[in-house]
Amino acid sequence: MPTSVKEFFDTRVPEALKRNPGRAKDVAAVFLFRVSGPDGGTWTADLATTPPTCVPGETAPPQCTVEVADKDLAAMIDGGVQVAMQVFFSGKLKLSGDTALIMRLSKILQMGGPG
């Protein structure tokens, strides 16, 4: 069953950050996710503060904004880095701000990913 984007951001990433807040140090940035579609929404992953957070809405100025459709983000979460790169290079993933942070995006996806 594909990952629910809402469950990923509302439950899985926040729980992973509570269990192991040190993982956020690998990212150390603020990401804003704008996800379109019926399973979408807006979330801020603030992995530069202590404690790190992942909450609904735009709660901190983002260093990098990620815009993507819910089905594409779910495929990235479930499929890992290779699928994420395919979505990015197909133009279905839009980035603004510090686009060099794209390399850290995979760490967020792994935090709440399957298993």
Domains and CATH numbers, the chain: 5-111 (3.30.1050.10)
Q: Which of 51, 49, 46 is nearest to 63 (CA)?
A: 46
Instruction: Give the pLDDT confidence score for residue 114 in this predicted structure.
Output: 60
Characterise 96 by phi-psi region: left (phi > 0), alpha (psi -120 to 50), beta (else): beta
Instruction: Give the pLDDT confidence score for residue 54 in this predicted structure.
Output: 96
Instruction: Give the pLDDT confidence score for residue 110 in this predicted structure.
Output: 84
Q: Calculate mean pLDDT across residues 9-34.
A: 93
Work out the mean pLDDT of the chain and round it to a whole number: 91
Instruction: Give the pLDDT confidence score for residue 96 in this predicted structure.
Output: 95
pLDDT band for position 103 (cuts 50, 70, 90): confident
Predicted TM-score (pTM) above 0.85: yes
| 44-99 pLDDT, tens digit each | 999 999 999 999 999 999 999 999 999 999 999 998 888 988 998 999 999 999 98
